[in-house]
Amino acid sequence: MRKDNSKEYNVDLYHFEHQEEETLEELMKKKKERERRIKEKNRQNQEEFNEEFDFDTETVIGMTNKNNKKIEDEKRKQFSKNQRRKERRIKKIKLVLKIIVLLGLVAGAIVFATCSPFFDIKEIQALNSNQISSETIISLSGLKTGQNIFQFWTSDVQKNIKTNAYIESVKVKRKFPNKIEIEVQEREPKFSIPVLGQYAYMSSQGYVLEIKANELNLPIINGLKTPEESISPGNRINEEDLNSLETILKIMNSMKESNLDSKVTTIDISDKNDYIIYMQSENKKIHLGDGSNLSNKMLYVIAIIEEEKDKKGEIFANGDLNDKFKVYFREEV
């Protein structure tokens, strides 16, 4: 009976041990599986860490490179700016030195030119002077021989010469090394004006040139509105009379074609609606009206003067030819 019990006991022990071995194997497997999972997890964590670390490193390196590049660019810009500033400063210094040298040369040339007898005036010549003498022009200029050619202003010389009413314009030229040329353009007397028992000679621009007791062979203008006290050499007649002078010049030009202008002795402008021309040699007084339509009127005047050559009288051309007016002659009885 014991033997059977003992056998039965052994069988159970075998199963127990066998079961225990299986349990240990399972535990080992589980442990290994757990360790494998842990390693796998650690490996994954390590990879994630490495990826993150690599990203941050690349970012940091990129930012560092970018900052370094920016710093380098700033350094280059600053260097270029400093270089340009330096070059500009050098150019300014060179320019200043050139100016100083140039000024020194100019100053030396001026001192030499104004002090050297080589540039002393030896000849002064007046050109185109007809109404006034060359000696008068040179005297008015204030220039003298022996004077340095640079020691005067041409504008002052021109102003001095133009104090003479006959002088319309002046050009002063330095002819190096020692000659002066004074070229003038003169006004010519074209009309005379009775004033205070004398005669004022007037240019075609209305400038009074001089006043003399004797009368030149010039047409006399009567009827001016300019006050007698204003009629003096260098002055100009007033605006109203200048307008009348324009009409007078038109009349004289229309007569010039037939050479009648030289026969005019007196022009009366007291009535602006009837300009009156006197021709002493022809014994004629011509009424021209307001000066309009002069060309046609002058054709009639010329014809009447030829036809009535030896008769003293008046020619009336002071009407409107476009309104059936006929120019006529009235003989003085």
d(CA 177, CA 27): 131
| Mean of per-residue pLDDT scores for the chain | 86
- Cβ(182)–Cβ(124) below 8 Å: yes
Lowest mean pLDDT among 26-35, 85-94, 124-133, 232-241: 26-35
pLDDT (average), residues 120-149: 94
Reported confidence tier of residue 201, pLDDT bands at 50, 70, 90: very high
CB of 263 within 8 A of CB of 282? yes
- pLDDT > 90: percent of the chain: 59
Q: Per residue in 214-232, pLDDT tens?
A: 888 999 999 999 999 999 9
53-89 pLDDT per residue, tens: 554 555 556 666 667 777 777 878 787 888 888 888 8
Please identify which residue in the block is written with the tokens 């009648």: 260
| Fold topology of 191-331 | Rossmann fold (3.40.50)
Give, in order, the Cα–Cα distances in Å from 166 to each of 47, 133, 205, 206, 290: 114, 11, 12, 12, 31
Distance CA 295, CA 314 (A): 19
Structure confidence at residue 296 (pLDDT): 92
pTM (2 d.p.):
0.66
**Looking at residue 162, what is its pLDDT?**
95
DSSP 125-154: EEES-SSS-HHHHHHHHT--TTSBTTSS-H
For residues 296-325, average pLDDT? 93
For residue 35, the surrounding DSSP H or E stretch is: helix 2-115
3-state SS, one letter per residue, for 49-116: HHHHHHHHHHHHHHHHHHHHHHHHHHHHHHHHHHHHHHHHHHHHHHHHHHHHHHHHHHHHHHHHHHHC
Chain-centre distance of CA 79, in angstroms? 43
How much of the chain, in percent, has pLDDT values that exceed 70? Answer: 86
Give the pLDDT band of residue 21 (cuts 50, 70, 90): low
Phi and psi at 150, nearest 5°, equal -100, -5
Tell me the CATH number of domain 118-186, given options 3.20.20.60, 3.40.50.1860, 3.40.50.1000, 3.10.20.310: 3.10.20.310
The residue among 300, 298, 299 whose CA lies nearest residue 329 is 300
Instruction: Kindly state the tokens that stand for 17.
Output: 């041990």
Measured in degrees and rounded to the nearest 5, phi and psi for residue 127 equal -115, 150
* pLDDT band with cut points at 50, 70 and 90 for residue 16: very low
With tokens 């007809």, the residue in question is: 130
Question: How much is the pLDDT for 5?
Answer: 45
Confidence at residue 48, expressed as pLDDT on a 0 to 100 scale = 67
Q: What distance lies between CA 112 and its chain's CA centroid? A: 35
Q: Is the confidence at residue 8, as pLDDT, over 60? A: no
What is the predicted pLDDT for the residue at 206?
A: 97
CA of 110: how far to CAs of 125, 143, 149, in Å? 25, 20, 12
- Compute the distance between CA of residue 285 and CA of residue 270 in angstroms, rounded to an integer: 15
Distance of CA 249 to the CA centre of its chain: 36
Do 120 and 149 contact (CB within 8 A), yes or no?
yes
Q: What is the pLDDT of residues 154-185, one digit of tens each?
A: 999 999 999 999 999 999 999 999 999 999 99
User: What pLDDT is recorded for position 58?
Assistant: 55
| Least confident segment among 3-17, 56-70, 97-111 | 3-17
pLDDT confidence tier of residue 38, bands split at 50, 70 and 90: confident
